[in-house]
Structures are given as structure tokens and as C-alpha cells.
Amino acid sequence: MRLLLSILSCFIYTAASAQIDSTLLRRKPRDTSALLMNMDAVYNRPFLTVGKMPVALGGYAEANWQHMGTDGVTEGHQFQMRRLTLFVASGITRRLRFLSEIEFEDGTKEINIEFAAVDMELHPLFNLRGGIVMNPIGSFNQNHDGPKWEFVDRPVSATQMLPATWSNVGFGAYGKQYKKSWVVAWEGYVTNGFNDAIINNALGRTSLPAAKQWPDRFEESFNGVPMVTLKGAVKHRKVAEVGVSYMAGIYNRFQDEGMTLDVKRPVKVWAVDANTTIGATNTFLTGEWAWVHVDVPATYSQQYGNRQQGGFLDIVQPVYKGRVAGFDRSVINVACRLEYTDWNVGRFEQTGGNIADEFMSIVPAISWRPGPLSVIRLNYRYNLQRDLLGNPASRTAGFQAGFSSYF
């Protein structure tokens, strides 16, 4: 809470200083070229600069109402402040810059530094980044800002199977090469990694996000072995962007005080992501699919699976562009998200039967974008969750409505 107050105080102080002349407050122009990629999302945000200060500020907030029910049981009307995120960017020198992203989730229940890194530009194909970086696995982890999406909830596969938002302390490099309508990009980082909470958690399933519960993860590595994250992506201005990413590390404490306690147990993740806009209809499609492999000890419970897979596909169709309620640049979209996650891919040792433990959902949506920085959205979510044994699925459904806006 004190951290929140301090940051808000800085904002208020900065704004108050600028009240002398409001024209000093300027929107920093965003790159809207068609060659932006998911990896650019962290910097491609609407920042506000004050006069000639070398610091740019920004952020977004999202809140919603929802009424969901599971098999006839509902918790009624819920009003939620999902997150408030603050960005601070600074040009230290012409080719040295700093950006941080601090997120307050569910009020102040979770306060996370999602990104706090210094970038050094050396060559378009080779730039350095160090600090708390977002591991580029899939696309959603890097491109997760609420106002960019037509859906109140983040994708389940990206946030509950993959650990978006997933940031770690480490270093790496990235680069891009343009050629006519093509752009090719790469990223690679070594960072701290996972810990044994991924198979020792109260969720009752293998969960990469459970690793975020370890409070010391920004100050030390759980086992001293760096995690590697690599991503390559290619984009054609008129066709699509496709990315392939890989993340691998050791999650268990295999030695302590010089004594070997266990073998090294790896966790490996592959992901593919893609997005495109169909020119004829202006339909936007984006999605990702990921595969998770975790070396779970054979003597542990099969409830904690060693393979997971899942992904999502968003289809967004603009149906109206123009003036709505006095907002000249309004866009109204209809959209739909399809999601699937298999939390435990495999078969029971005892029976040979399929291990179910799977989730699927469909989320039709209507969104109104009164401007490019804000979205008001209405979703109807319908989930099916099947347990480990494949018993009749529990059904959850309901409406969600809310807004998300950069500020």
C-alpha cells in the first residue's frame, strides 16, 4: 500500500508541476506502423511526457462487473478492480533507455514488478536488455495490456498454464531485421527460473504460475541453474506474424550445501503464436498454443501431470466505425474467444485410461472502443471443466462487463 501511495504521489506531483502550462503534457506518439510485433508491445504504449523531462509516464486500469454461476451455484454480482498498472519510461541517453511496469492486481492483493529493464541499443539485430524482463514465451506474456483485448478475462492457457505475466531477473538480447514488407525478429534471455511449487502446490495440478508464489524469486535462483527463453518471429506486413518460442530450465533444488538431493528435473515449454488481419473483412485473428513438459518424479502423484497443452484463438470483427455518443473515432467490434487447456496429458498407469483434467471455454463478446486507448466490453463466458478422472464436466457461465483504458 505504501508503495502504491508513493507512486501515486509521484504522479500527482508530476502532474501538479505541469499544471503551470497544460500544453506541457504531451502524448508521446506511438508507432502505428504495420511492422510492429508482439515483442514491441512493452514499448508500444501510450506514454505521457511532461515538457522536456526525459521521463514518460503511462499506465492502464481495468475494472468489471460479473455474475457467474457454476452448476446452479452463483456468488452473485461481483464488482472487481482487476488491475492498475503504471509504466515509467526514461531515455537515459540516446541509445540507453529504461522502462518499468508495476502492476497492482485485485486491489493491492498482488503487487508485481512486471518489467524493469534497461535496454542498450547496439545494432538493429543485436541489442542488450537486463533487469526484470518478461520471458518471451508465447505472445500474450509480452502483449498483455488490458486495453488491447476485447475480453474481461485473460486467456486461461496463457495465465494458468503458461504463467503470464511471467517476469524474471536476467539478461539477454534481441534484434530485428526489416526487408521490404518482411520483418524477422529474435530474442534470447537467461534469467532466474521456476521452483518446485510447480508440482508442490494447493491447486492439485502441475502449475507453472505457482512458481510465482515463491517470494524470493527476484533476489535469488531456486537452484542456481539459469532458465533460457528464446523466441523467433517473422512478419509480413500484409499476411501475418508468426512466432515460435521455447523456454527451458530446472525447477527443483537438486543440491543443497554441496549435497546432491535429487536429479535435475527440467521444465520445457514450446509455444507458437500467430496473428493476422484478413484484409477483405478486416477481421483480426490472434492466438497461441503451448506445450509444457515437466519432469515429475515417477514416485510422485500422477495428479501432477508431466505434460500440458493448451491455447486460445480470438476472432475480432469490427462492425461499425464512426461516431458513437460523441466519440468520433469509435469502433464497435463483435468478437469470440475459444480456449482449451489440457492440464494433464497422459494416461493412468493403473487403468490405461485417459487422464482428463481439461478446460474449454467459449466467450462471445461485444466491445466498444470510444478511442484507440480504451475499451468497454461485454462478454458472455461459458466454461466446461472436467476433472482428472473425466467425470461429468462442471459448467460455469455468466456475463462480464467492464472497461480497460490506458491513461
Partner 1 sequence: MKHLFTALLFLTFGYITFISCTKLEPAAPADDAILDGPVEGLTPDQKARFLRGDVAFNDEIFTAETGLGPLFVAASCGSCHAGDGKGHPFITLTRFGQSDTSGNMYLAHGGPQLQNRALPGYTPESVPAGAPSSRFLPPANTGMGFLEAVTDADIAAMADPKDADGDGISGVCNWIALASYETPSPDAIVWKGKYIGRFGRKAAALNLLQQTASAYNQDMGITSEYEPYDTYSGHSIEPEVSNQTVQDVVFYLQTLKAPIQRTPDAPDVLRGKELFVQVECAKCHKPELKTGYSPIAALSYKTFHPYTDLLLHDMGPGLDDGYTEGHAQTYEWRTPALWGLGLSRNSQGGQYFLLHDGRAHSIEEAILLHGGEAQKSSSLFAALPEGDKNKLLTFLESL
Q: Which three cell numbers stand for residue 21?
A: 502550462
Burial of 12 (0-12, 13-18, 19+ CB in 10 A): exposed
Min. distance of Cβ 328 from partner 1 in angstroms? 13
Measured from the CB atom, the residue of 183 and 210 that comes closer to partner 1 is 210
Min. distance of Cβ 405 from partner 1 in angstroms? 17
Position of cell 486500469? 61
Min. distance of Cβ 66 from partner 1 in angstroms? 9
**Residue 16 phi, psi dihedral angles, 5° rounding:** -65, -40
Check if the beta carbon of residue 170 is closer than 8 Å to that of residue 189.
yes
Min. distance of Cβ 365 from partner 1 in angstroms? 12
Measured from the CB atom, the residue of 266 and 390 that comes closer to partner 1 is 390
Sign of CA dihedral 149, 151, 154, 158: negative
**Residue 77 phi, psi dihedral angles, 5° rounding:** -75, 130
Measured from the CB atom, the residue of 113 and 324 that comes closer to partner 1 is 324
Contacts with partner 1 by CB under 8 A lie at 67-74, 196, 199-204, 252, 261-262, 265, 297, 299-303, 324-326, 348, 350-351, 353, 356, 378, 380, 387-392, 395-399, 401
What is the three-class DSSP state of 2?
helix
Shortest CA distance to 406 belongs to which of 117, 127, 83, 175?
Answer: 83
Q: How far apart are CA 112 and CA 358, in angstroms?
A: 29
Min. distance of Cβ 257 from partner 1 in angstroms? 14
Min. distance of Cβ 70 from partner 1 in angstroms? 7
Shortest CA distance to 263 belongs to which of 275, 254, 251?
Answer: 254
Q: How far apart are CA 395 and CA 384, in angstroms?
A: 5
Min. distance of Cβ 391 from partner 1 in angstroms? 6
Q: Which residues pair with 363 in a beta bridge?
A: 337
Q: How far apart are CA 331 and CA 369, in angstroms?
A: 5
Q: How far apart are CA 204 and CA 96, in angstroms?
A: 44
Q: How far apart are CA 330 and CA 347, in angstroms?
A: 50
Min. distance of Cβ 149 from partner 1 in angstroms? 20
Measured from the CB atom, the residue of 95 and 395 that comes closer to partner 1 is 395
For residue 170, what are the CA distances in angstroms to 25, 103, 129, 188, 373? 34, 19, 9, 11, 31
Q: Which three cell numbers stand for residue 197?
A: 511449487
Q: How far apart are CA 367 and CA 385, in angstroms?
A: 26
Min. distance of Cβ 330 from partner 1 in angstroms? 10
Check if the beta carbon of residue 197 is closer than 8 Å to that of residue 213.
yes
